[in-house]
Structures are given as structure tokens and as C-alpha cells.
Structure 1
Amino acid sequence: MCGRISIDSFLANTVSLQLGVPFNPQTNLDLRPTEQVSVIIMADCQLQQLDCTWGIKPAWSKKLLINAQAETVREKKTFASAFASHRCVVPCSGWYEWREEGKKQKQKYLFSHDAAEPLYMAGIFYPNAEFTQLVTLTTEPTEKCKAYHGRMPLLISPFEIDFWLQTEAVMLEALLYHPKILIYQSIRIEYL
């Protein structure tokens, strides 16, 4: 479900170099929903940092929504408008999942890039007068990740970020349904 993210101290410099944009997130090795997270958006034809609060709470929902399924994000009323016009990427050092191991014991695992490169999670944001809110997108897990969770973040390669942020929503089917396998092959899983 991807409910925790890691933002380490090396992330800012690496993202700034890769994307050519100033990026200064708060270091947080256990970022949780309702906390502030820095994302990259396209504004005035330039990549920019935007700080968001992770999660939305629509009037109809009793709980906070932090993820949307990539496969249905275009059709769901809650997400369709943001998907059409407010897409972002969430640069992170990794994400956490828990897996039951043994009797009622959950083990924490960190999923990160095996070369310590940033991961760019696909997201949508909701700007409003008080603060901007974020929902991250998830997809079917790879074979490697399936043993840990039934979903995983939709990851965007650094070379596809401009395409993800600028292209008409109807043209993004390839990214939503057929994510680039190379990114997913480079995921490292650490027992914590």
C-alpha cells in the first residue's frame, strides 16, 4: 500500500542534479501520511518543487486516502480531475512495507534503488487555499515485490518525468499499465 516513505539527506542533491531543478525536501526517514512531502510539478513549463500534505479526506470517506490505483485513476471521480491536470512525482529514497512473519509479528522492509538513486513515485495533487494535498499512485507489484505486498508505487523513470507531467492524460496509458521494467528490476529490498 506504500504508507511510509524515506527521504534521506542525499536525495536533495541527487534530484537537483538529475532534474536540473532546485530541490530541498525535509529529511525524514519515516515520512507518514498527513506529513509534509516535497514533490516535483510542472508549472509555467518548468519543473518546480511543491510542498504537499500526504493524503486527502473527501467528504464521503471516513478515512484518509493516500493512494490511488493507477489502473483506475482516470475513471474514479475522486481522482480524475487531479489526474487530468495536477500530476506530480514524489522523489524519495525508498518506501516501506510490512509483512507478517511468524505469529502476529510484522517485519519492516525498505524498498530502494540498488544503486542508491532516487525513486520517483507518480502522484496527483490537490491545490487549495489552505494547503496542497497529495495522493500517490500504485500499481500491480513485480514478481520480486509480490511476496511483500499486493501493490507497489507506480515509479516513473527520470527520463519519463517531463512526459508524465506534461502529456495529456489520455496519452499516459503506457505508463499506467505498462511501467518500464528496468526501474523495477533495480529495486533492492532490505530487512530492517
Structure 2
Amino acid sequence: MCGRFYLDSYHDKVREFLESAQEKFPDQVFATGEIYPSSTILSLGANQQGEISPGYTKWGFTNPRNKQLLINARSETVTEKPTFKTPFNKYRCVFPMTGYYEWDKDKKKHYIQSGDLIFAAGFFRRTTHNQQTSFESIILTQDSAPAISTIHNRMPVFIPEAKIAQWILDNAFAIDYLANQAHNYPTYFTSSVQ
């Protein structure tokens, strides 16, 4: 997956999520529209009571060695990589989006959507710098669905809305879900060149 997605703030459910998150975090400015790495993004995770709740993360893990952000992780190896293993096991979340972008081999930009709100699987970590805590997040990717494979060979892992709580709260479910990726595609995709 390339590094951009879209969040339509006029979508009813998105608006509800944003209003709830803004009440809890009034000082945060949430990115909407076309979203880039390092943006503060709407994220759904578990609160301290174990309930699924809207919040925020910054898209991308900082990399102190080369200053580049790590924005994606391969679902096939996430439980093996030292950088990702612990946050994946402890802090899974999902990212609401109304579509995402990919560039094909001819560098044409495609907007890909499934017709409704979709939820990309991911995880986050807490970091502290100069006594400031931040929450950095990663989007998981998988091999592309057949409808997308002619555009790009990778795509986000999507979680059905009914399974969000299981994804976030149940390690065994999350690991099994990633192991059965062929079943993880939304019903259909459409794409348009931007």
C-alpha cells in the first residue's frame, strides 16, 4: 500500500467518531480528506475499560536511524519483527477510511474504495520524547485482492466492522485472522484514476 488514504468527514459514522474523539481530545486536530504519513489520524482502539473507543494516533513509527517513517508492516511477518511484535500484541487498532490510494507501474494514481466505510487493521506504540507522550501507528498490509492486483501487489488488511472488537482485544483471533488473509477482502472494490 502506498502512503495515502481518504477519510470523508461528511460520512455519518465518521462524523460521529470524530465528534467523540474531539470531546476526549479537544486539543488534537484530526486529519480528514486525503491523509498523508505523519498526520494525526482517527483511530479506534481499546480504552482502559476494554471498550472500543475513538482516539488518535500519528501515522508512522519514527525511525531514529534514518529519520524516515515506517508507515506499513507486512502482515505475514508482523509477529516476527522486533520493531512490531510487542506493539502488535498489545496495542492493536483500526483506522476508518472511505478509500485509499495506490500508484500503478505507470505512476498513475488510483483511488480505491468499496462503497462504504472500511476499517484498516493496524497497531500503535507509545513513545515519550521531552516528557511528551505520543502514539505512533502502523497500517498492516497483505497481498492484493484480485481486483486490485493489476494496480498494486499490496493492499491494507481490512477488518469487518462486526469483528473490530475481536481484532483489538483478542490476540488469538488477530493472529488467526492474519493467517487466513484470502478471506479478509471487502466484498468489492472500485478504482478510478485521479
Which of the numbers 165, 169, 179 marks the counterpart of 2:181?
A: 179
Q: Is the 8 A contact 1:142 1:184 kept in 2?
A: no
**TM-superposed deviation, 1:23:** 5.2
Q: Is the 8 A contact 2:168 2:174 kept in 1?
A: no
Query: TM-score when scaled to structure 1?
Result: 0.85
**Identical-pair percentage:** 26
Task: Give the equivalent residue in structure 2 for 1:8.
Answer: 8
Task: Give the whole-Å Cα distance in 2 for the aligned partners of 1:26 and 1:57.
Answer: 19
Task: Give the equivalent residue in structure 2 for 1:50.
Answer: 55
1:34-85 deviation line (CA, Å, top 9, x unaligned) = 1111100011121112211111123345521000011111110000000110
RMSD: 2.3
Task: Give the equivalent residue in structure 2 for 1:189.
Answer: 191
**TM-superposed deviation, 1:22:** 3.2
Q: Is the 8 A contact 1:89 1:121 kept in 2?
A: yes
Task: Give the equivalent residue in structure 1 for 2:163.
Answer: 160
Alignment CA distance shift 1:182-1:146 (3 Å): same
Task: Give the whole-Å Cα distance in 2 for the aligned partners of 1:99 and 1:180.
Answer: 22
Give the AA of the match of 1:22: S
Task: Give the equivalent residue in structure 1 for 2:114.
Answer: 113
Task: Give the whole-Å Cα distance in 2 for the aligned partners of 1:156 and 1:108.
Answer: 24
Task: Give the whole-Å Cα distance in 1 for the aligned partners of 2:112 and 2:173.
Answer: 29
Q: Is the 8 A contact 1:53 1:132 kept in 2?
A: yes
Task: Give the whole-Å Cα distance in 2 for the aligned partners of 1:23 and 1:135.
Answer: 19
**TM-superposed deviation, 1:2:** 3.1
Task: Give the whole-Å Cα distance in 2 for the aligned partners of 1:16 and 1:42.
Answer: 19
Q: Is the 8 A contact 2:44 2:95 kept in 1?
A: yes
Which of the numbers 124, 134, 138 marks the counterpart of 2:137?
A: 134
Task: Give the whole-Å Cα distance in 1 for the aligned partners of 2:55 and 2:94.
Answer: 10
When the two structures are aligned, how many residues end up with a matched partner? 182
Query: TM-score when scaled to structure 2?
Result: 0.84
Q: Is the 8 A contact 2:75 2:141 kept in 1?
A: yes
Alignment of 1:75-154 (within 5 A): 75-101=80-106, 106-114=107-115, 117-129=116-128, 130=132, 131-154=134-157
Task: Give the whole-Å Cα distance in 1 for the aligned partners of 2:75 and 2:53.
Answer: 23
Task: Give the equivalent residue in structure 2 for 1:37.
Answer: 41
Q: Is the 8 A contact 2:21 2:56 kept in 1?
A: no
Task: Give the whole-Å Cα distance in 1 for the aligned partners of 2:105 and 2:76.
Answer: 27
Task: Give the whole-Å Cα distance in 1 for the aligned partners of 2:118 and 2:21.
Answer: 14
